Chain A
Amino acid sequence: MVSDIISTVEFNYSGELLATGDKGGRVVIFQHEQESKNRPHLRGEYNVYSTFQSHEPEFDYLKSLEIEEKINKIRWLQQQNAAHFLLSTNDKTIKLWKISERDKRAEGYNLKDEDGRLRDPFRITSLRVPVLMPMDLMVEASPRRIFANAHTYHINSISVNSDHETYLSADDLRINLWHLEITDRSFNIVDIKPANMEELTEVITAAECHPHQCNVFVYSSSKGTIRLCDMRAGALCDRHSKFFEEPEDPSSRSFFSEIISSISDVKFSHSGRYMMTRDYLSVKVWDLNMENRPVETYQVHEYLRSKLCSLYENDCIFDKFECCWNGSDSAIMTGSYNNFFRMFDRNTRRDITLEASRESSKPRATLKPRKVSTGGKRKKDEISVDSLDFNKKILHTAWHPKDNVIAVAATNNLYIFQDKIN
């Protein structure tokens, strides 16, 4: 079903919960089961905890446009009490959801007896206060805030600030700052819309708040640049504090250079010292103190460079891949085609390609590394570039904040892999 295509995956801060959003506007939350006592060598599994419809399709009457219900991003809030909170957004509207557990039910009525029949009002001789009795665990999701009408263009990112009271939302041309408790106002902090739309050459592709510094955020563009802004400096952050761009290699210039330089995702490292960007063919790690080039570059699928023409024709060149860090920032992961995903160890410089598909992953079996052959001679177990299935793309991946557990979304299937414990 088309509406089941997973469009976003996100672990919460403790890693206990994993949320997925899909094209049909639904959010499914998985919970990590506690390790079972009889089989301590296996980690607990993730099982469905809650499912709810977050967004519905809408129609913008003023512009005669449909507003898709597809969930673009989910971001969790830090847990503040027994309930869990997350922000989910489609193209236009951001919603704050509360997910809470109920395990008690009130029993005992005054006006009805045990079978539900109404009692005679004149025969009520004493008052009954209801008593709470245990019941089967029920998980409820309720929308607590709706942040609407602040974006003319499609929202591509949301990011919660380290102050736990504000968050930003970004569309193609603007970034807004919201307070979690206030839905009828937001502050516009970045606006790159030119006075004359004919002069538009660059759009915002992703934005993120710094993990510790409440005043810093970054946004990436379709031209391969990243701007870092400081909210302390001024109310409007149109002028950046830092500008990150790698100078182009003139030898590899082609018709497609600008398109493949477009950054599809930007993520700060947990330490806050680095950030990672994903463009079409590579992942780059930047030191925030060095603006003129990245400190590390990893090729995701360089074998596609000679195929850019056909990838342009089938629109795959515009696919937006995400990337993520592991909890200790020692490894990074991103997706590719043919249900392949790639992991890079920053210390050893080793990389691995794995496949997320039913055939190659039986529960509890170890994944076999995959390899794509580019030359004429194809070894056994390798797959040739031309046999890759470009409809099987892994755009969304997530890494548990502490453990070596990863979630990989392959079209409408979610795969959860974990490190074997020895």
Chain B
Amino acid sequence: MAGADGDDSLYPIAVLIDELRNEDVQLRLNSIKKLSTIALALGVERTRTELLPFLTDTIYDEDEVLLALAEQLGNFTMLVGGPEYVHCLLPPLESLATVEETVVRDKAVESLRKISQEHSPVDLEVHFEPLVKRLASGDWFTSRTSACGLFSVCYPRVSSTVKAEIRQHFRTLCSDDTPMVRRAAASKLGEFAKVLELDYVKSDIISLFTALASDEQDSVRLLAVEACVSIATLLPQEDLETLVMPTLRQAAEDKSWRVRYMVADKFSELQKAVGPEITKNDLVPAFQNLLKDCEAEVRAAAANKVKEFCENLPEDNREQIIMTHILPCVKELVSDTNQHVKSALASVIMGLSTILGKDNTIEHLLPLFLAQLKDECPEVRLNIISNLDCVNEVIGIRQLSQSLLPAIVELAEDAKWRVRLAIIEYMPLLAGQLGVEFFDEKLNTLCMAWLIDHVYAIREAATCNLMKLVEKFGADWAQNTIVPKVLGMANDPNYLHRMTTLFCINALSDVCGRDITTKQMLPVVLKMSEDQVANVRFNVAKSLQKIGPVLEKITLQNQVKPVLDKLATDKDMDVKYFAHEALSVLELTYPAHD
């Protein structure tokens, strides 16, 4: 595409092409992201014959650039001339698939998978499958790991001879010398099994799965656990017992805690995959063992799954299984030595109440909740408090509230500010669940105390908290309970507290509405414009700017403008600045025209 003399239409493209090699990585990245523009300008033939060969050999670049390139190429089919020519994209993607950076390789594999769909079955056998073979028998680990991700996309559409070759390659990679390649094979095992014919799943995949699950490298064995879920879903129930369960039992008792951790982590998926019978006979005892594992990390992972596991038990004997087998272990975990275990349990234990019903909850679970509510570790207590809604549904909060209040107060006064912050964030939720009377009686003072905490982050969160409470309980409630107290702080000798008043007003003006803002809040703000401390004064200007939109125009003209005008001549630079800002934003700079 040539331009006529005096036409600079090719110039931007010329810039982009040259910047493909610019020293500045951002410019190179920009050009790569606009690769489609370049390809369009060049046309399909030049893209195929010149651009792609250039891109195939310049893989010396930074990860971000290579990643962007790998992504672009996945969408280049039309730009090279359509499905007929899509195989031209294979060489550059093949080089990208050998790069050591995992993210780049993974993206290249993703793009290869995408464009494999655009290949005709003939092209798959002529171009794509040979690429996969080259990668699978490549010298470098990186090519062999990439190959693992490509088997499943070409298998379905090739001839049975080629299918046999692909199966052979996969088998070879599963027993590769390098752990890296075996890991890649293990992580793609499930996906590959899904596209295979069931007979081959039984004959090939199961033996590969068993081998990988007994690999000497821990990192390979633990990936086999994930594969277990996929494989179990593919096989008919009657085959699971012989083909999958022995391996799964072995994994649940593996010498390496990391493998057992994986089993615990995937327990819900495993449960769904094997079905109710095997769950009852095998998984229940396995789960018990994981809850009692010697390694705390494993116990914590299992504890996290208690609710989900119980929920997914078959309805007919769910309650009996939980009461006989799971609950005793749970009771032990409440007094575990490791705080992460207790914390994990606390985040899910409340959910058991919906499963067990009112009577069992009161008799068996309630003592556990109360014990965790008094735990020495703040995170445990926080996790209980954040899940109260489950219990509320079943037995109502009153049962807990007596223990709840001391727990909340203790967390609210914890020495660590992050703990105090966490409880503030639950306050609106709790307030909603406990109701306005409980709140006024017991929690109001806490909320006010937070406003004068030493730590700014707490004061800020407390302000936000007030706003959310007003949203829940309404402006009338605010007027009677919190507004007077907030405004009272305006006379505090500590300037930080006086500023907190202003921040609260900023947060509350919207939810409280025009009336309260004009009649109660505005006078206080205006009075503080005469404060001794400049920080307070300029925050007055900022507050007026914030609450201005809530007020009537008349109020703005008659009350706000004079004060802002005065502040605009303040001796402090910042006060002047913010006053001018406010006047300008509120459009009060000039006297109103009639």
Contacts and interface: CB of A to CB of B under 8 A. Distances in A.
Given A80-B180, A124-B3, A215-B218, A85 B100 contact: yes
A234 B295 contact: yes
A163 B217 contact: yes
A127 B13 contact: yes
A129 B57 contact: no
B11 interface: yes
Contacts of A85: 100
B566 interface: no
B54 A106 contact: yes
Interface stretch (B16-24, B302-310, B456-464, B537-545): B16-24
- Residues of A contacting B: mostly: loop
Interface stretch (A96-104, A277-285, A317-325, A411-419): A96-104
Interface size class of B (residues with CB under 8 A): 35 or more
A162 B3 contact: no
A231 B295 CA distance: 11
Contact of A121 (B2, B11, B58, B216): B11
Contacts of A100: 60
Nearest to A234: B295
Output the residue of B41, B58, B98, B102 with the most chain A CB within 10 A: B58
Contacts of B295: 234-235
B17 A110 contact: yes
B456 to A, nearest CB: 24
B592 interface: no
Contact of A124 (B14, B99, B218, B219): B14
B219 A81 contact: no
A213 interface: yes
A141 B361 CA distance: 64
Interface size class of A (residues with CB under 8 A): 35 or more
Interface string A176-194: 0000010000000000000
A210 to B, nearest CB: 11
A214 B259 CA distance: 13
Given A100-B60, A124-B10, A110 B18 contact: yes
Contact of B217 (A121, A162, A233): A162
Contact of B218 (A80, A102, A111, A214): A214
Contacts of B197: none
Interface in A80-126: 80-83, 85, 98, 100, 102, 104, 106, 109-112, 121-126
B100 A111 contact: no
- Residues of B contacting A: mostly: helix
B180 A132 contact: no
Contacts of B5: 122-123, 125
B294 interface: yes
A39 interface: no
B376 interface: no
Contacts of B559: none
B211 to A, nearest CB: 17
A369 interface: no
Contacts of B21: 106, 130
Contacts of B20: 106, 130
B506 interface: no
B297 interface: yes
A79 B41 CA distance: 40
Nearest to A213: B216
A131 interface: yes
Given A122-B7, A123-B5, A163 B257 contact: no
Nearest to A166: B219
Contacts of B98: 81-82
Given A129-B50, A215-B218, A163 B179 contact: yes
Contacts of A109: 18
Interface string A329-356: 0000000000000000000000000000
Interface string B160-183: 000000000000000000111001
Nearest to B295: A234
Nearest to B10: A124
A81 B296 contact: no
B219 A165 contact: yes
Nearest to A98: B100
B54 A234 contact: no
Contacts of B140: 79-82
Contacts of B257: 232-235
A293 interface: no
A41 interface: no
Nearest to B102: A181
Contacts of A273: none
Interface in A111-168: 111-112, 121-132, 140, 162-165
Given A80-B100, A106-B21, A129-B46, A214 B216 contact: yes
Contacts of A124: 3, 8, 10-11, 14
Interface in B435-460: none
B14 A127 contact: yes
A132 B54 contact: yes
B50 A163 contact: no
B493 interface: no
B142 interface: yes
A384 to B, nearest CB: 53
Nearest to B145: A80
A164 B179 contact: yes
Interface in A20-78: 78
A131 to B, nearest CB: 7
A273 to B, nearest CB: 16
Interface string B296-329: 1100000000000000000000000000000000
A125 B14 CA distance: 10
B519 interface: no
B51 interface: yes
A159 B339 CA distance: 32
A232 B17 CA distance: 53
A128 B218 contact: no
A407 to B, nearest CB: 26
A164 B17 contact: no
B591 interface: no
Interface in B236-262: 255-258
A25 B216 CA distance: 38
B62 to A, nearest CB: 9
A214 B219 contact: yes
Contacts of A81: 98-100, 140-143
Contacts of A83: 100
Interface string B539-556: 000000000000000000
11 contacts: A81-B143, A125-B10, A127-B41, A131-B54, A132-B53, A164-B141, A214-B218, A214-B219, A232-B256, A232-B257, A235-B297
Given A125-B10, A164-B179, A235-B295, 14 more contacts: A81-B143, A82-B98, A106-B58, A111-B15, A121-B14, A124-B11, A125-B3, A127-B1, A129-B50, A140-B60, A163-B218, A215-B218, A215-B256, A233-B257
